[in-house]
Amino acid sequence: IALEVLLPTTPYLSVVIALSRLYRDAEITAMFACGISMTRVVRSVLLISIITGVIVACLSLYTRPWAWNQFFWLKAEAKASFDLTRMKGGNFYKTGGGERVIFADKIDHQKNQAKRVFIQTKKDDSLQIIYADKATQYEDETTGEPIIVFQDGRLYEFSQQSDKGLILEFDSSSMHLEPKDTILPKYKVKSVATKKLIHSNNLEEIAELQWRLTAPLSTILLALLAIPLSRAAPRQGKYANAPIAIIIFAVYYNSSAIMKKWVSQGVIGALPGIWWGQLLLATILVFLLFQPSLFLRLFKR
């Protein structure tokens, strides 16, 4: 779950727990008796939620797409180029668009050396496998190409057009890892800049744009919803209203995720699209604000 999804829960649950305690200890009654109205409470919560909503908007509209874009570019660059010294021992790595698989049992980063190295390379109709006790990598000073030097190993080469194979033992052998052409990252809608989504007619991109726009609005609505949800009887537990608040958030988040998928698949229209979740949340908010006694009757039991 992204940060812009989790961040709205902070003011939401904080308001529920804090105001519930005031109701339980009858402090809220004393506040009202001193002239502090519910309007002032709502105004304070609204101010906090707006500040949080602005932060969530920045994360959702700008930071998150930028971060995903950087991640996919770095991932693509890692596939195009390879550095033996950055490997972790015991893991398999694919390079060159999946043409080469490399495995090293142990990596000594101080010596820039790998031990018990396995490399499988597919080229056209041939398969080449190299196993060596040790391997080091350096760059050619002239061409800048990465070169791996193997020590004490074997080379196996097979062809799909022939039953015969080649097996060689060597004390030292080198492999030039020719730099590949730049591999562009696969298209992911969550990494697309928000300004590019605004004028899009693609359903998947429309759903993503609506998802980003609803994040700050849901922050404000959830924080305001926490006010009626926090109402509690004097002898109720400190966290008596927290479970129902968590359930409401879980239902809201999952229903929004489902509607996002439906919009991207064309199951429901782009308008109102994901905004159905916001409308439902706003309806519940208005209902609980004007019918607080019903909420107490339902969850006081």
Using CA atoms, how far apart are residues 260 and 265, in angstroms rounded to an integer?
9
Residues 86 and 69 in one domain: no
> For residue 176, what are the CA distances in angstroms to 111, 126, 144, 159?
20, 17, 10, 21
Number of domains in the chain: 2
Is residue 182 in some structural domain? no
Domain residues for 58? 3-73+187-299
Longest Cα–Cα distance of the chain, Å, equals 95
Residues 49 and 128 in one domain: no
Is residue 50 in some structural domain? yes
Residues 111 and 214 in one domain: no
- Helix, strand, or coil (residue 89): coil
Is residue 67 in some structural domain? yes
Using CA atoms, how far apart are residues 55 and 76, in angstroms rounded to an integer?
30
Residues 140 and 64 in one domain: no
Residues 56 and 91 in one domain: no
Q: Which of 122, 155, 176 is the last residue of a domain?
A: 176
Is residue 108 in some structural domain? yes
Residues 86 and 66 in one domain: no
Residue closest to 288 by CA, chosen among 212, 226, 211: 226
Residues 224 and 289 in one domain: yes
Residues 65 and 196 in one domain: yes
DSSP character for 60? I
Amino acid at 127: L
Is residue 181 in some structural domain? no
* pTM > 0.85: no
Digitized pLDDT (tens) for each residue of the chain, 301 residues in all: 567 777 888 888 888 888 887 777 677 767 777 877 777 888 888 898 899 889 989 988 888 889 888 888 777 666 666 667 667 788 887 776 667 788 888 888 777 788 888 888 887 778 888 999 988 887 777 776 778 888 999 988 888 777 777 888 888 888 776 655 555 667 788 888 888 888 888 888 888 888 888 888 989 999 888 888 877 666 666 667 778 888 888 888 888 889 888 988 888 888 888 888 888 888 888 877 766 555 445 444 4
Residues 64 and 163 in one domain: no
Residues 216 and 256 in one domain: yes
Q: Which of 176, 199, 225 is the last residue of a domain?
A: 176
What tokens appear for 37 in the block?
């109205």
